[in-house]
Amino acid sequence: MTVTTERHGRVLLVRMERAAKRNALDAGMTAGLDAALNELDDDPDLWAGVLAGTSVAFSAGTDLVAGAGEPTPRGGSYGVVRRDRTTPLVAAVEGLAYGGGFELVLACDLVVASRSARFALPETARGLVANCGAMFRGPRALPRNIAHEMLLTGDPLGAERAWSLGLVNRLVEDGRAEAAAMQLAQRVCENAPVAQRESLRAVGAVFAGLDERGWDATAAAQSVVAASDDAAEGIAAFREKRDPRWSGR
């Protein structure tokens, strides 16, 4: 299995374990994440969750060869990014969180990262666009110009700078992200679960209309890009391990 779960009292640890592919998201991982977060959402004995990867990578994003599978009814893409959650979820980031991997981070409520962790949105380097929430969640979590830089250059943002900009809640030594995220989740569980859920529900309601506009705008951009020659060239170059030759069409 590429997604495993462990119960630690009232905290559910969800771990992505497709190490050979740097946790690139395929159909099996999407199904596993969806099932794990359904468990987190539906079990009243679970008051918080932690989403972690391996020591090398949180997630490299969508598997560009195999694809990430179909969006799930409850979670959307990856079984996560369009989920209507009210149970707090903490991202534990070691290594890279690129593309869809960063969009998983942006879909969480709290972020713990090791010092060597890095975040990136490299889609434009493949002739694609970030279509799983980064278009609007990125500028919400970061200063707008920093989000623009990530979207337009694809260059990574290091964990220390991400912490200084407010994206990361806790910055820890390498190898400690999962343990620190579990500690933060346990701290969350010390407070009243009904109040926790309603707090997240209220925050979600504030942004609900903006998110719908964000998803619509993302879909429009995705439609244009998907029909472009550059999108086909970007994927071909990736598969052939060469530099892309952009046409601008």
User: Which residue ranges form the domains of the chain, and what is each CATH number?
Assistant: 3-177 (3.90.226.10)
3-state helix, strand, coil in the chain (%, to 5): 45, 20, 35
Q: Which residues of 16-28 are buried (b: 16+ CB within 10 A; e: fewer)?
A: bebeebbbbbbeb
pLDDT at residue 67, rounded to an integer: 93
Give CA–CA dist 17/54, Å, rounded.
6
What is the model's pLDDT at position 1?
84
CB-based contact 165:142 (threshold 8 Å): yes
- What residues of the chain score a pLDDT lower than 70? none
User: How many Cα neighbours within 13 Å face the side chain of 2?
Assistant: 21
Look at residue 65 in the predicted model and tell me its pLDDT.
86
Please pick, among 123, 149, 190, 198, the residue that the annotation labels catalytic: 123
The active-site residue, picked from 6, 103, 173, 240, is: 103
What's this model's pTM, rounded to 2 decimal places?
A: 0.96
Q: What is the pLDDT of residue 51?
A: 98
The answer to whether residue 233 is catalytic is no
Which amino acid, residue 226? A
Q: What is residue 64's predicted lDDT score, i.e. its pLDDT? A: 86
Provide the b/e sequence for 55-79 (b: ≥16 CB within 10 Å).
eebbbbbbbbeeebbebbebbbbbb
